[in-house]
Amino acid sequence: MSVNLGFMDTYARERTADFLREAERDHLADEVVRPGQPLRMRLAERLRAAAEWIEGDTRQPAIEATA
């Protein structure tokens, strides 16, 4: 039985890419349905913080850092 190493490498890369895409989709789905702040509100806060930064507003940031 001969093993085609090129096929195995390609297959492993494709499967890894599939798993990464699936994980990204799951992460985005969790972001949308996560309890707490709606996605639109979090996006609005980040846009406001970016606008304040661009305008040079040195007040406290509009969003808090999260880990």
Q: What is the DSSP letter of 1?
A: -
| CB 34, CB 51: distance < 8 Å | no
Q: Are 59 and 52 in contact (CB under 8 A)?
A: yes
Q: What is the pLDDT of residues 2-20, one digit of tens each?
A: 678 888 888 888 999 999 9
d(CA 57, CA 48): 11
The pLDDT tens digits for 14-55 are: 999 999 999 888 887 777 666 666 777 878 888 998 888 888
